[in-house]
Amino acid sequence: MPALDLAVIGSGPGGYRAAVLAALRGLKVAIIEKNTWGGTCLNRGCVPKKAWYHSACVIADATTYPERGIGGTLSADFPQAWRHQRRIVDTVRDSYADYLGRLGIARLHGHARFDGPRSLRVDDVPVGAGHIIIAAGSQPWLPPPLQRIPGRILTTDDLFDRPPPPGRRVAVLGSGAVGTEMAFILHRLGLDVTWLTGREPLSSSAFSAPARAALREALAGAGIAPRLQGRISAVEVTDDGVTLILGDGDRLRVDWVLAGTGRRPCTEGLALAHAGITTGAQGHIVVDGYNRAAPGIHAIGDVANPGMSANHALADAAVAVSDILDPGSRPRRDEQVPQVLYSALELARVGLNEDEAETRGLEPAAGFTSFDFNPAALAAGEHGGFLRLVADLDSGRALGAEIAGRGAGELIGLLGMEFGTPQALSRLASAAYNHPARAEEILNAVETLAARWGMTKHVFPARAAAGAGE
């Protein structure tokens, strides 16, 4: 193979995005994958989960159909839901491969490892490149005494890769995003779910206490409640099921277990030391503010970013490619990357929350608006949602946003585009919004900041200037 400008290890969202961005800018690129093209997000993460989530929401909405004048009943068929997500994954993967080909990006299938600072071997074939991006992703982690057992103790990788095992009684483990999402999704898709968590769901996240409370209420309304302190001391697996022995001595009998207990970076076998690359305490590759792991080498996504989401991987890819083309031009800003949770209540956030702002010496103020009286949300039968904007009282700079409710993951992108600019609040206030739409609450939240916190000069600078001249 002729010399490459860039070799990318890993074809998940970060690796794919990096390869595409580099090729569009004229670099000669190859992308290397040892497993399934598209990585975790496409094959056993974001994409198939979103298909299931949409179905789960349709079934959840059906409880209000009679009052809307819609008759009939819906029932869930989990094996068919599994086949449906596989068709979506296959469609997206075909499009993915076609686009790489049209951009002239070489695809190498095999195991990559470093031979030296800027040289690789893919299986036994040497590959040299002016720059290398490591986007090797992550893999599920199970705490003892759990271990993966086909058909009995599964991770999300296992559940999306192979048809679901028989049986409706499922234990979902984990208080993080995966556990919180899958407990709702599997319940709505017809399974009998027991949700075991060691602590309050999302308690280690940056979502606010009001957002977590609203989610708990929505989950309770759907008939889902976590069993707190559900720590597992022992596991018994038989031919017909799994018994979990909990820390309090209670025994829980289920057909199978889904463990959403975290992930760890995939660095084993890369021979990172040959390139002078180091890893931290949690196994992530150590990088600087531009995702540089060593001269000529960047690391992005789950393998280097503790955020461990597709959104972080995509943002990291843009940082790394920008740094290759124009060193130092685009620093990594994790706080500007949206975080989205798909559960009984969709949650999304970007930027800083009040506590984070205060630790940076800022003076945060919040503009709050509820979706309870929003015409678009009411028409869809939704309640309990809200939008919060956090801004700095002194400078007027938009610091963060949080949204709870259907479509939160779409709306947060509108806010994320403005964050980081001094004019964010005034631009949001002067934008034209569709009516009726949930997006109108952005304007209401900004106007609340102006009225309640005396921020008119930042939100409506022209109006403030006119008033000062009178």
Name the catalytic one among 111, 298, 383, 435. 435
pTM: 0.95
* Beta strands, E only, 152-191: 153-154, 169-173
- Round to whole Å and give the CA distance between 412 and 409: 6
- Round to whole Å and give the CA distance between 204 and 214: 16
Question: Which tens digit of pLDDT belongs to each residue from 331-354?
Answer: 999 999 999 999 999 999 999 999
Q: Give me the percent of the chain exceeding a pLDDT of 90.
A: 88
pLDDT at 2 over 80: no
Instruction: Supply 396's token pair.
Output: 């007027």
Per-residue model confidence (pLDDT) at position 3? 84
Mean pLDDT of the chain, nearest integer? 94
CATH (one of 1.10.287.90, 3.40.50.620, 3.50.50.60, 1.10.10.10) for 4-139+264-335: 3.50.50.60
Q: Which CATH superfamily is domain 346-464 in?
A: FAD/NAD-linked reductase, C-terminal dimerisation domain (3.30.390.30)
The distance of Cα 393 from the centroid of its chain, to the nearest Å, equals: 30
Class of domain 153-261: alpha beta
- Round to whole Å and give the CA distance between 262 and 286: 20
How many Cβ atoms sit within 10 Å of the Cβ of residue 108? Answer: 19
Identify the CA nearest to 187 among candidates 366, 56, 363, 36: 56
Per-residue model confidence (pLDDT) at position 50? 97
Per-residue model confidence (pLDDT) at position 276? 96
Residue 466 confidence class, pLDDT cut points 50, 70, 90: low
Per-residue model confidence (pLDDT) at position 129? 96
Can 153-261 and 346-464 be said to share one CATH topology? no
Per-residue model confidence (pLDDT) at position 237? 97
* Average pLDDT, integer, range 157-163: 96
187 catalytically annotated: no
- Round to whole Å and give the CA distance between 70 and 72: 7
Identify the CA nearest to 135 among candidates 47, 45, 41: 41
Per-residue model confidence (pLDDT) at position 464? 56
Per-residue model confidence (pLDDT) at position 465? 56
Question: Which tens digit of pLDDT belongs to each residue from 399-425?
Answer: 999 999 999 999 998 888 777 677 899
Find out whether 114 and 268 touch, Cβ atoms under 8 Å: no
Find out whether 121 and 136 touch, Cβ atoms under 8 Å: no
Highest mean pLDDT among 61-65, 110-114, 380-384: 110-114
Find out whether 400 and 357 touch, Cβ atoms under 8 Å: yes
Cis amide prior to 140 (ω within 30 degrees) = no
Going from N- to C-terminal start, the domains of the chain cover 4-139+264-335, 153-261, 346-464
Find out whether 303 and 134 touch, Cβ atoms under 8 Å: yes
Q: Helix, strand or coil for residue 363?
A: coil
Find out whether 403 and 370 touch, Cβ atoms under 8 Å: no
Per-residue model confidence (pLDDT) at position 239? 92
* Average pLDDT, integer, range 93-99: 96
Per-residue model confidence (pLDDT) at position 96? 94
Q: Give me the percent of the chain exceeding a pLDDT of 70.
A: 97
Find out whether 453 and 365 touch, Cβ atoms under 8 Å: yes
Find out whether 160 and 90 touch, Cβ atoms under 8 Å: no
